[in-house]
Every structure is written in C-alpha cells, then in structure tokens.
Structure 1
Amino acid sequence: MGEAKRRKETLGDKYGQETRIMPGVPITKAQAEQFTQWTTRGAWIGIGAMVAVWVTVRFIGPSFGWWQIVN
C-alpha cells in the first residue's frame, strides 16, 4: 500500500482539505501566506513612495524656493 493511500485511510474525510492556521479560525495556511506576501509588497511600495516624497521635499523643493527669491 502506498503512502498516499495510507494517509487517506487515516485522515478519512479530512484528506485533501487545506489545514487551518489555528483551530476555530477560518483561515488556511495558504491564505495566511498570501496575506503576508501582499502586505510585504505594500510595505515596500510605501517605503518607495516615502523616499520619493523625501527626495522631492529635501532637494527639489528648496531649489524652487531659491528661484522665487532671486526673481
């Protein structure tokens, strides 16, 4: 008998179903991993936007202020 058949016999109805992260919480391990990937991607996008705003305010903003004083 193969390992898959043996596992199917021991698990019964639960065979082939995804496991939950905790009993009583309706979130599977795959959903939790996908959530982690999305939030990590969102955090990096936020960090990139913050750097872009900082560069704009720090370097580009003062140059426009100087131009108005000269004219």
Structure 2
Amino acid sequence: MGEAKRRQNALGEQYGKEERILSWVPISKRQAGDFYQWTTRGAWVGIGIMVVIWLTVRFIGPTFGWWDVQ
C-alpha cells in the first residue's frame, strides 16, 4: 500500500480538503496567504501614492504658486 493510500485511509473524508487555520474559523491557509499578499501589495501602493502626493505638495505646488511653503 502506498503512502497516499495510507494517508487517505487515515484522514477519511477530510482527505484532499484544504487545511483551516483554526478548526472553528472557516478560512483555509491558502485564503489567509492570499489575503496577506493582497494587503501587503495594497500597503505598498498606498505608500507610493502618498509619496507622489507629498512630492506634488512639496515641490510642484510652490512652483505654480498653489501653496506658500517656506
């Protein structure tokens, strides 16, 4: 009997299902990893937008007289 067959017999109907983070939380480990990846990417996008806005306010704005920064 092969290892996969032994594992299938040991796990029963749980065989092939994704493992959950906690038994009482309906989120799989893959879903949690995907969420982490999206939030990390979103944070970097937010940081980039913040830098662009800061550069606009700090350097481009005073050039056109929008803000009086001294």
TM-score (norm 1): 0.89
Corresponding position of 1:69: none
Cα separation, 1, equivalents of 2:13 and 2:58: 62
Moved over 2 A (4+): none
Matched residue count: 66
Unaligned runs of 5+ in 2: none
Show the 5 A alignment for 1:1-71. 1-65=1-65
Structure with greater Cα Rg:
1
TM-score of the aligned structures, taking structure 2 as reference length = 0.90
- Percentage of identical aligned residues: 68
Describe the SS at the equivalent of 2:20. Answer: coil
Deviations 1:15-70 (A, max 9, x none): 0000100110000001000100110110010000000000000000111118xxxx
